[in-house]
Each structure stands twice: as C-alpha cells, then as structure tokens.
C-alpha cells in the first residue's frame, strides 16, 4: 500500500478514520501467524534467549542512532502532554505552562520534569517559544476528538515474543476506535516534533505490528503527524505492511545480537 502524505490543508482525522462503509473485515488469524514468524526468526538468529534479554524499541527498528538531544526529548514530552490535554478537551492558552504542569503531574518522565525545572531562563524561554509553535500546529491539524471514538492516549506496548526472550516496546500517542468488531476500525496516531522522513514510516509499520500482536487484530490505519510543519503521513494496515514490520524487527534483533 502506498503511503498517503497529507498536505497541511487536508483533514487528518477524516483521512485517518475514513468512511465506515469502506473498512475491511478483521483478519483474526493474522496475529498468530506473525507471532509464530517472529518466534521462528528469533530462534534462527539467537536460539533461545533468556527472559527479557533482548529489548527492542521503536528507535532500534527504524535505525535511529540515539534517543535524541535533551532539548528534543523535552520538546517531545511537552508536546505529548499537550496532545493529552487536547484530547481531554482542555486546549490551553499558555501551551508551555500547561504542558510543564502536566508533565510534572503525569508521574511519568520524572527525570525530564526535573530537567525542565532546572532550565535557566534563556533556555526556558527558547523552549517555550518552540512548544508554542508546535502546539499551534497540533491544535490546528487535530480537531477535537469526540468521546465516542474512545480516544486513548499514551498507550504503552511491551509485547513478549520468543517465550519472553525478546520484548518489543513502543508507545502510541493516540489510539482511536474500538477493537472487537467485525470490521477494522482502530486507528493509531504518532505525533512527532521532527519533520517526517523514511524512519517515521518504518516506525508506523512497527507500531501497527505491536498493536496487532497486543490485541490480536490489525488496526485499520496508522498515521504520523509532524508538529514541526503540519505534514502528515497515513497508511492503511495490511498483511504486506505487517510482514515488512516483522522483517524490520528481525533485522533489528540481528543487529543487536551482532553488536
């Protein structure tokens, strides 16, 4: 499936949810086959790894060298908090102040919250200006999400495969739609503060795989939204895409083992 790149003027939520009548039926046999493929692939690469010995994160699959600078991590964490607030129906007037309060109250990323509190005035002002710019794009591109779409924020995945020897980890910023129906309707949205590139597409396929293994059914679509320039990438999830993700995971495991 060719990815659809959306222009900033296109409606992201409409592209993500699509028309209900055109949604494919759910293939519930796919998850088991993908899991077996991963188990076999890991066995061929490393035999039987001890429990939790290999931890694969999104950045391992997309080939990112490191987690990013401290500033980028802080900016990402603050924008993630703004997404939560926006979905909760609270669109703040002072995005930086609101995001800082939310980060401190979140109970996650305490290290980043401490780092933020320790910034000097100049760094803080620069970060506030950046966050305000990202917030403006986020609120503009992502309209209010109705509660009937069951929005879930910051859903973490920690899927054990190969008898728990390998743990696949990832986090989906926003999940919409209820699983369990006869047609696929779950949509995943990854919000990034950097400009979209090939690694984001790889990241989306990995997140689709995680969601499939976790729930037992593939999501309908995955999307990435860049709050740097408002561009978005939407992909339909199909068997080919998930197969691509399995190969990506096995490549990452192979790299980690030979390192």
Q: Binding another protein by CB under 8 A: which of 40, 44, 178, 247?
A: 178
- Lookup result for tokens 């592209």: 15
Encoded one letter per residue, x for contact with another protein by CB under 8 A and - for no contact, window 24-43 reads -------xx--x--------
Q: Binding another protein by CB under 8 A: which of 22, 105, 121, 198?
A: 105
CB atoms under 10 Å from CB of 221, counted, come to: 25
Find the shortest distance in angstroms from Cβ 154 to another protein.
7
Q: How far is CA 184 from CA 171, 195, 237, 246, in A?
A: 20, 29, 10, 20
Helix (H, G, I), strand (E, B) or coil at 22: helix
Contacts (Cβ under 8 Å, ≥6 apart) of 160: 52, 166, 167, 168
Q: Could you say which residues in the range 107-136 bind another protein, by CB under 8 A?
A: 107-108
Task: State how far the Cα of 124 lies from the Cα of 206, in Å rounded to an integer.
Answer: 34
Query: Residues 110, 116, 117, 121: what is their CA dihedral angle, to the nearest 10 degrees?
Result: 180
160 binds another protein (CB under 8 A): yes
Q: Could you say which residues in the range 69-88 bind another protein, by CB under 8 A?
A: 81, 84-85, 87-88
Q: Binding another protein by CB under 8 A: which of 26, 42, 102, 131?
A: 102
Site for another protein, rule CB under 8 A? 31-32, 35, 51, 81, 84-85, 87-90, 92, 98-99, 101-102, 104-108, 147-148, 150-160, 164, 167, 178-180, 213-216
């Amino acid at each position: 499936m060719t990815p659809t790149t959306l222009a900033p003027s296109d409606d992201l939520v409409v592209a993500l949810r699509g028309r209900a009548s055109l949604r494919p039926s759910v293939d519930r046999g796919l998850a088991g086959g993908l899991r077996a493929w991963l188990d076999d692939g890991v066995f061929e690469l490393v035999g039987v790894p001890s429990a939790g010995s290999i931890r694969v994160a999104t950045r391992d699959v997309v080939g990112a060298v490191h987690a990013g600078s401290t500033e980028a991590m802080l900016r990402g964490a603050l924008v993630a908090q703004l997404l939560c607030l926006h979905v909760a129906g609270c669109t703040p007037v002072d995005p930086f102040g609101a995001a800082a309060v939310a980060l401190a109250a979140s109970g996650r990323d305490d290290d980043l919250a401490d780092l933020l509190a320790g910034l000097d005035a100049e760094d803080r002002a620069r970060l506030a200006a950046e966050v305000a710019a990202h917030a403006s794009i986020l609120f503009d591109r992502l309209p209010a999400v109705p509660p009937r779409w069951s929005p879930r924020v910051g859903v973490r995945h920690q899927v054990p495969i190969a008898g728990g020897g390998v743990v696949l980890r990832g986090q989906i910023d926003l999940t919409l739609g209820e699983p369990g129906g006869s047609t696929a309707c779950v949509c995943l949205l990854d919000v990034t503060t950097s400009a979209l590139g090939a690694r984001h597409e790889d990241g989306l396929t990995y997140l689709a795989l995680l969601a499939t293994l976790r729930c037992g059914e593939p999501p309908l679509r995955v999307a990435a939204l860049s709050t740097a320039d408002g561009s978005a990438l939407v992909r339909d999830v199909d068997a080919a895409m998930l197969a691509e993700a399995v190969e990506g995971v096995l490549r990452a495991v192979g790299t980690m083992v030979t390192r």
